[in-house]
A and B are shown apart, each in its own frame.
Chain A
Amino acid sequence: MNSMLDDQFERQFFSYVIDRTVPANAVQDPNALQILSDADFEWWWLLCSRTSNLLKVLLKEQATGRDFIGTSPQAQAGGAVFNGINIDNWAGTAQGNASFPLAVPYVMPATRVYSLFFTDTSGAPNVTEVVFSGFKLWPRPSQA
């Protein structure tokens, strides 16, 4: 194996899943996803299913406080509260190879907590599933 290409990890396909029935008209309904303690997770793809597309989402990394979804005051017409990106602008589906590719992967460290905040405007309970698809990074024993 070319050492320039080998980063000494075994990659195992894995998906982290959040299932949530977002209450009708909920505003920034909080949900937590914790990366398992056994391995870091290399995030490649983003998928979701929902009852209604009238759903917005925010994603935040708790340890760093990093917001993955942002806006600017001047990008929010009318001064309304920013409740996130429309779910259908953010994530795709598995069918038709239509999941959203990050293009450059993001490593979610083991045990780190990510918060998703859902805002529903459909007026009915919104059955939602968000899937972070990628690889667990298992260490590979060094070869003598």
Chain B
Amino acid sequence: MTHNPHAAGNTPGSAAARSASFHQPMNPRRDPSVLTHTLARMLPLHSYQSQVYRLGEKYPPGFEDGFTPIWEVATALLPARQTTQLRINFQNQFHLLAIMGSSSLAGGFRVQLYDMKKQYCSWADAARRIVGAPQKPGVRLAGRGVNFATFLGTGSDPFFLREPHPFTEPNAQALVIVQNQDTSGASNQIQVALYGLARRFNWPD
């Protein structure tokens, strides 16, 4: 990794320099001139979504020890067009890896996820890379409520995040807002499952 002192501003050159310094190079150093499609780094050759986490790497950096798989589940039984809010309190250092969900009725549901404790700094001046004050806690994980079929997978076709989303703040909490989209009149059995890793409560014993 190299550091480029001129990697500020939004010129093509500085953007390329930032990218080169921030990401791993796409090609090994010995093959610098081999052309690679720009999307090739996004997924492995077989492009199974479940292989986004490189399985050859037994414990990815940051998850070397003391983590246990956890499924956190939100469940609702909703009449037509009804909305409800569900809150999940996470265990220590929960990292979201994949999201799954199911609807008992064909109409499905819309879902919006929030990380209630996450706090990012804003830009005081984005072009000049001047960091501003922290925003108030709470971020949404989608621009608006998403149809469950385009946001949630299933056990056999899970939707894996390209990078884990950390819920690492004290008393971390997710807010799940679901709205039943089925209009048949029957109540919809809705379930949203957040799969991730949490630190064992007795770690490091």
Do B157 and A64 have beta carbons less than 8 Å apart? no
Number of residues on chain B facing chain A (CB within 8 A): 45
Indicate if the CB atoms of B193 and A89 lie closer than 8 Å.
Answer: yes
Contact A75 B86 (CB under 8 A): yes
Q: How many residue pairs, one in A and one in B, have C-beta atoms under 8 Å apart? A: 125
Q: Does A1 contact B (CB under 8 A)?
A: no
* A57: nearest chain-B partner, CB-CB: B71
Given the complex, which residues of A lie within 8 Å of B73, measured CB to CB? 69-71, 75, 82, 84-85, 89
* Residues of chain B from 30 to 64 with CB closer than 8 A to chain A in the complex: 48, 50-51, 53, 55, 58-60, 63
Tell me whether A75 and B155 are in contact (CB under 8 A): no
Interface: B97 (CB within 8 A): yes
* Contact present for A74 and B86 (CB under 8 Å): yes
Asked if residues B87 and A104 are in contact (CB atoms below 8 Å), the reply is: no
| Bitwise interface map of B from 149 to 178 toward A, beta carbon under 8 Å scored 1, else 0 | 000001111101000000000000000100
Cβ contact within 8 Å between A66 and B71: no
8 Å CB contacts to A: which residues of B71-108?
A: 71-78, 84, 86-89, 91, 97-98, 100-102
Q: Are A80 and B75 also in contact (CB < 8 A) when A72-B88, A89-B101, A104-B69 are?
A: yes
Known: A64-B202, A85-B71, A103-B53. A77 touches B155 (CB 8 A): no
Q: What are the residues of chain B within 8 A of A64 when measuring CB–CB? A: 200, 202
A40 CB-CB contact with B under 8 Å: no
| Nearest CB in chain B to that of A97: its residue | B48
Contact indicator B75/A102 (Cβ below 8 Å): no
Does chain B have a CB within 8 A of A115? no
**Which of under 10, 10 to 19, 20 to 34, or 35 or more describes the interface residues of A?**
35 or more
A141 within 8 A of B: no
Are B75 and A89 closer than 8 Å at their CB atoms?
A: no
CB atoms of A92 and B76 under 8 A apart: no
Query: Once the chains bind, are B87 and A100 in contact (CB under 8 Å)?
Result: no
Judging by beta carbons under 8 Å apart, are A104 and B193 in contact? no
How far, in Å, is A91 (CB) from chain B's closest CB?
A: 5
Nearest CB on B from A30, distance (A): 19
Residues of B at the A interface (CB closer than 8 Å) are: 48, 50-51, 53, 55, 58-60, 63, 67-78, 84, 86-89, 91, 97-98, 100-102, 154-158, 160, 176, 191, 193, 197, 200-202
Spell out A's residues near B (CB within 8 Å). Answer: 7, 44, 46, 48, 64, 66, 68-72, 74-78, 80, 82, 84-93, 96-106
